């Protein structure tokens, strides 16, 4: 069974990097970005999601790594 994209079901075009509650759902335990086959996100939203996570890391809202 194929997973559905969370952002397509919510009709989201813009993923805000300041909304860390949603972004943490797409990070692993070591703060790595999870692949789309694991989360079910479509290709378009996976690219936007990766950019939002990288911006949140740069603004120190999310960690680069967990120790």
Please report the DSSP string for 19-37 in residue order.
-HHHHGGGB-TTSPBPPHH
> Per residue in 9-54, pLDDT tens?
999 889 999 999 999 999 999 999 999 999 999 999 999 999 999 9
In the predicted model, is pLDDT for residue 59 greater than 80? Answer: yes
In the predicted model, is pLDDT for residue 1 greater than 70? Answer: no
End-to-end CA distance of the chain: 35
Query: Which overall architecture, per CATH, does domain 6-58 show?
Result: Irregular (4.10)
Spatial separation of the C-alpha atoms in residues 67 and 49, rounded to whole Å: 23
Overall pTM > 0.95: no
pLDDT score, position 67: 72
């Amino acid at each position: 069974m194929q997973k559905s994209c969370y952002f397509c079901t919510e009709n989201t075009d813009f993923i805000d990097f300041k909304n860390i509650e949603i972004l943490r759902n797409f990070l692993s335990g070591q703060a790595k970005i999870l692949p789309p086959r694991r989360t079910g996100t479509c290709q378009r939203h996976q690219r936007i999601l990766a950019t939002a996570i990288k911006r949140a890391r740069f603004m120190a809202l999310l960690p680069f790594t967990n120790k």
